[in-house]
Amino acid sequence: MQTHDKGLSAALLIAAWKGGCVDDLERRRSPRFALQQSVILSYRNGDPVQIGAVSENASLRGALIRTEVYIPVGSRVEMTLVLKQEEWLTTTRLHGTGRVVRAEEKGPAEFLIAIGYDEPLAGRNRSSALPQDRAESS
């Protein structure tokens, strides 16, 4: 698999190892992988809004996110995918921007939001300490 971001390809390989491709028969430009991890979404709804969510699946070109908040199709979003497992010593955050390409209501306060990335997410390794904890220790 050729990719622009080794961090994202590693995350997708881990997802593939843990859960495999969402649908091996599906024909897409980039395969989707089951990946249930925390997500932070930022967007503008008049004022800046930041919400927590959970990924359902991800690929090099986009992700499907489960959230309690409806985000309209066409909305610009910033997304941070937080990759953390109990056995990992560090947390990796994959960050990027994109646009909501599909929004589907699944129930009361439950939405599936499909985000198409502007470019593959960029990864940054982080220690398990929170940013404010690192700032205080400096």
The larger pLDDT score, comparing residue 53 to residue 32, is at 53
| Residue 124 confidence (pLDDT) above 90 | no
How much is the pLDDT for 31? 84
Helix (H) or strand (E) holding 4: none
- Average pLDDT over all residues of the chain: 78
Sign of the alpha-carbon torsion through 101, 38, 31, 104: negative
pTM of the model: 0.69
pLDDT band at residue 4 under the 50/70/90 scheme: very low
Question: For 21-30, 64-73, 82-91, 101-110, which range has the lowest pLDDT when averaged over its residues?
Answer: 21-30
| 3-state secondary structure (DSSP) of residue 31 | coil
How much is the pLDDT for 85? 77
Domains by residue range for the chain, with CATH: 6-127 (2.40.10.220)
pLDDT band at residue 122 under the 50/70/90 scheme: confident
How much is the pLDDT for 70? 95
For the beta carbon of residue 17, count every other beta carbon within 10 angstroms.
9
What's the N-to-C CA distance of the chain in angstroms?
40
Distances (CA, A) of 131 to 19, 77, 82, 111, 135: 30, 22, 14, 29, 6
Distance CA 115, CA 60 (A): 11
How much is the pLDDT for 14? 52
Sign of the alpha-carbon torsion through 126, 128, 41, 49: negative
Q: Please write the tens of the pLDDT for every residue from 47-67.
A: 999 999 999 999 989 999 999
